[in-house]
Structure 1
Amino acid sequence: MVASISDAIYYPVSDTLMVRGEGIYVYDDDGNRYIDCASGTFNLSLGYSHPAVVAAIQKQAESLVHVTSSFQTESVNTLVRQLIAAAPANLVKVHLKVGGGSEANEGAIKMAQHATGRGEVISLFRSHHGQTMMTTSLSGNAFRKAPFPLLYPGSLQVPDPYCLRCFYGQRRDTCGLMCVERIDDFLEYASGGQVAAIILEPISGNGGNIVPPEGYLPRLREFCDEHDIVLIFDEIQTGIGRTGRMFAAEHFGVQPDAITVGKGLGGSGAQIAGILAGERLAGLPAHHHSFTYGANTLAAAAAVATMEIINQPEFLANVRDTGDHIMQRLRDLQRRMPVIGDVRGVGLMIGVELVQPGGAPAVDLTNELARRGLGHGLLLRTSRYGYGNVVKIRPPLILTRDQADEICDGFERVLREVVS
């Protein structure tokens, strides 16, 4: 017999017991209410128990919960059409036979390898593309790879476009986008000469909410074309409205060769993910990347309802408006509190970087702020699994202006408590 349920659950869990969620709020068994500033695990794009998503799941459950993906179903067919209509025009294939973001990213890489006949993959410093052995190996964080002696071969990481802490010690107005141009050196001296793909998040998720400078992604697109390299956008976190556009690719005006989606596609927590690909990446035999619960009809029905809501212009406009409002308030706070080194983001994908005097990362303070947030009614998450110094502000996309102010007021209270 175990002493407590916490001893029986393999991974660490809080003593807090959550019992109900509604909109942007979640409630514990003592009746305390919290604003979820992380949208669950960034997957509750429409918040908790959105009525349209719940109704879609209930209706679908009455007829067909699951059938093998070898057959067509109405919910999957509808979702495929929605995704193609919303995606960049060059992406005309949808692969839904995956269960989560890690599998979607790994599948896109397999497509690139199959299409090019090459095997190596480039990712960025601080990158995080999943939890499978392949995607763990692609991570730009040594601490994630350290426990595993057998890593996927053929991956290399290059500096990310982190202007605040530029790897090359440059300034954006004079750097000439060295973080793209110097990839040539990695191809020449660090690779095996067989690079199939570059995979990156348009805005880094776990890596610290790094927003690339103007021109970076268009130049990277050109670089990939010059070297016949497949460009994959991991939009597991940035996609499905998070940046105020359906895909972050739109915000930056770039057409990648593939986009991976997941998390927010399920609206209120349905487990679904997918790969959007161009014609060049078509042709990978299904048996090379197919998972039991991929293309699930129940999850697809939830995603269809989610897409219908998020695709409305007024919905996306509200994401941009509330995101801009939070950014303005946090930048005003930054002017008054030097512990905030940077505020950056697009739409409702926002990061607040905390620093020590002199500018060094304030990792301990960042974790303490997130820990104390619970006492102020905020669920907060930090970058790099607690190794980073960025607080991630990514509430459900249904956020109102008043609720945005609730977040900013609470954040200021807990920050002042931590630094006092």
Structure 2
Amino acid sequence: MDTKTVTDHLYYPVSAQKMDRGEGVYLYDSGGNRYLDCASATFNLSLGYSHPAVIAAMKDQLDRVVHLTSSYQSDPINGLVQRLVETSPANLTRVHPKVSGGSSANEGAVKMAQHATGKTEVITLFRSHVGQTMMMASMSGNAFRREPFPLLYPGSMQVPDPYCFRCFYGQSKETCGLMCVDRIDDFIEYASSGRVAAVMIEPISGNGGNIVPPDGYMQKLRAFCDEQDIALIFDEIQTGIGRTGHMFAAQHFDVEPDAITTAKGLGGSGAQVAAILTNERLSGLPAHHHSFTYGSNLLAAAAANVTLDIVRQPEFLANVRHTGDYILERLRDMQLRYPAIGDVRGVGLMIGFEMCEPDGKPAVKLTNHLASAAMEHGLILRTSRYGYGNVLKIRPPLILTMTQAEEICDKLENLFMAELAR
């Protein structure tokens, strides 16, 4: 088959660009051009492309056994469970590794909350993206994600994000008193059945625009859930495994959820691995209610164990915070010089900046244009809300050096000079 025929047979559209290899934070196309990948592929390469320690661990496991039914113990799975308990908030003492990705991890956490509480409904946020299964698509925000499907999973409702830059309630964070938590009570009172099992949130929104909650939000939400007997689930598919400069964003925000889901960065250099971590309250869901053939995969667990050993080191996490702070500082300086940059926000190496029209409205067309033009400057950027949003995201591999952080910012300067200073 020629290239045209191959792409015609693909179910989904792809770029005309053909990528050849990756090394560290860089991706190379078939023409030899190099790109600094600020999307970490699909936000999952926490240790970058082809990390030698991850590759070596997978090769070693490949010579032993690739897959084993989860009915038996194995060193890779035992090691993964131990490491996740050691690096997560102290209240999370149970690990369910028999899930195949972020969507199935989130769905499992919901089932656990429903089983433990005897209640059914789930609250998520307006801009949330909690997965691609029908259940998770139903519970995600954004009408465009649900519009094509006539049969959606019932029993969820979305409430406003803690989005201070565009506050749903028209408040300022200095005076609002965290109304975005207080008003959840009204949603439960008037828009639910009154049987809410869980609140499931991304501590910092991934696809929804890199929204960082204001100080005190998480503590108030934790207290609210306790008062209402509602389980609090943190979807840390994107924020977990060092992305915020802490192993989990829960530790950055200093709050203990009832469950954390993890995937993406757990595989280090692309191994497909996920897990659900819970407290004792959410334990007890029978295994046959949530069990996937390719969960607890030994090859993936071997990669995850090496990844956790590397990322958990204090100096590694300190570097994530240091390089992230540098990029945020440079972006805020650019914001002063380029009025189209409306807001800059982030924690660690989970960073986003919002593009605005002169009247302050979201500049969606400009955002997509900049993401496309960035390739000409050797930079890979992703946008929010599958191209419907106006936030450009910077989430490079966590192995980023200060020199590479400077390179990102210099390339952004060149991009803005070429596209915004017209």
TM-score interval (norm. to shorter): over 0.9
Match of 1:86 in 2: 87
Q: Deviations over 1:60-119 (max 9, x none)?
A: 000010011111110110010000001111100000100000000000000000001111
Provide the rounded CA distance (Å) in 1 between the counterparts of 2:34 and 2:195: 52
- Runs of 4+ in structure 1 off by over 4 angstroms are none
Match of 2:244 in 1: 243
Match of 1:15 in 2: 16
Corresponding position: 1:187 with 2:181? no
Measure how far apart 1:43 and its partner are.
Answer: 0.2
Q: Deviations over 1:6-65 (max 9, x none)?
A: 111101101111111000001011000000000010000000000000000000000010
Provide the rounded CA distance (Å) in 2 between the counterparts of 1:235 and 1:221: 16
Provide the rounded CA distance (Å) in 1 between the counterparts of 2:13 and 2:411: 26
Letter in 2 for 1:166: C
Provide the rounded CA distance (Å) in 1 between the counterparts of 2:419 and 2:152: 39
Q: Secondary structure at the match of 2:393?
A: strand
Letter in 2 for 1:185: D
- What is the aligned length? 420
Matches within 5 A, 1:244-323: 244-323=245-324
Measure how far apart 1:251 and its partner are.
Answer: 0.6
Match of 2:138 in 1: 137
Matches within 5 A, 1:35-50: 35-50=36-51
Higher mean C-alpha displacement, 404-413 vs 120-129: 404-413
Letter in 1 for 2:93: V
Matches within 5 A, 1:14-413: 14-413=15-414
Letter in 2 for 1:388: G
Provide the rounded CA distance (Å) in 1 between the counterparts of 2:416 and 2:70: 49
Provide the rounded CA distance (Å) in 2 between the counterparts of 1:359 and 1:46: 37
Provide the rounded CA distance (Å) in 2 between the counterparts of 1:411 and 1:45: 22
Q: Secondary structure at the match of 1:224?
A: helix
Provide the rounded CA distance (Å) in 2 between the counterparts of 1:415 and 1:10: 34
Provide the rounded CA distance (Å) in 1 between the counterparts of 2:160 and 2:353: 21
Q: Secondary structure at the match of 1:31?
A: coil
Provide the rounded CA distance (Å) in 2 between the counterparts of 1:341 and 1:32: 31
Contact 1:330/1:408 (CA < 8 Å) preserved in 2? yes
Provide the rounded CA distance (Å) in 1 between the counterparts of 2:232 and 2:404: 37
Higher mean C-alpha displacement, 406-415 vs 207-216: 406-415
Provide the rounded CA distance (Å) in 1 between the counterparts of 2:195 and 2:133: 22
Measure how far apart 1:373 and its partner are.
Answer: 1.0
Match of 1:418 in 2: 419
Contact 1:120/1:197 (CA < 8 Å) preserved in 2? yes
Letter in 1 for 2:408: I
Q: Secondary structure at the match of 2:353?
A: strand
Q: Secondary structure at the match of 2:296?
A: coil
Measure how far apart 1:181 and its partner are.
Answer: 0.3
Contact 1:365/1:418 (CA < 8 Å) preserved in 2? no
Measure how far apart 1:416 and its partner are.
Answer: 2.5
Identity of aligned residues (%): 70
State the TM-score, normalizing by the size of structure 2: 0.99
Measure how far apart 1:411 and its partner are.
Answer: 1.3
Contact 1:376/1:410 (CA < 8 Å) preserved in 2? yes
Q: Secondary structure at the match of 1:357?
A: coil
Letter in 2 for 1:351: G
- Over the aligned positions, Cα root-mean-square deviation in angstroms equals 0.8
Measure how far apart 1:140 and its partner are.
Answer: 1.0
Q: Deviations over 1:176-224 (max 9, x none)?
A: 1110000010010000111000000000000000000000000000000
Provide the rounded CA distance (Å) in 1 between the counterparts of 2:413 and 2:140: 32
Provide the rounded CA distance (Å) in 2 between the counterparts of 1:417 and 1:291: 49
Measure how far apart 1:384 and its partner are.
Answer: 0.3
Provide the rounded CA distance (Å) in 2 between the counterparts of 1:53 and 1:206: 27
Q: Deviations over 1:345-380 (max 9, x none)?
A: 000000010101021100000000001111111111
Q: Secondary structure at the match of 2:371?
A: helix
Measure how far apart 1:414 and its partner are.
Answer: 1.5
Letter in 1 for 2:15: S
State the TM-score, normalizing by the size of structure 1: 0.99
Letter in 2 for 1:86: T
Provide the rounded CA distance (Å) in 1 between the counterparts of 2:417 and 2:69: 54
Measure how far apart 1:331 and its partner are.
Answer: 0.4
Higher mean C-alpha displacement, 408-417 vs 83-92: 408-417
Provide the rounded CA distance (Å) in 2 between the counterparts of 1:416 and 1:196: 50
Q: Secondary structure at the match of 1:4?
A: helix
Flag structure 1 segments of 5+ consecutive residues without an equivalent: none
Contact 1:45/1:397 (CA < 8 Å) preserved in 2? yes
Provide the rounded CA distance (Å) in 2 between the counterparts of 1:387 and 1:48: 28
Provide the rounded CA distance (Å) in 1 between the counterparts of 2:135 and 2:141: 12
Q: Secondary structure at the match of 2:136?
A: helix
Contact 1:126/1:139 (CA < 8 Å) preserved in 2? yes
Provide the rounded CA distance (Å) in 1 between the counterparts of 2:237 and 2:48: 17
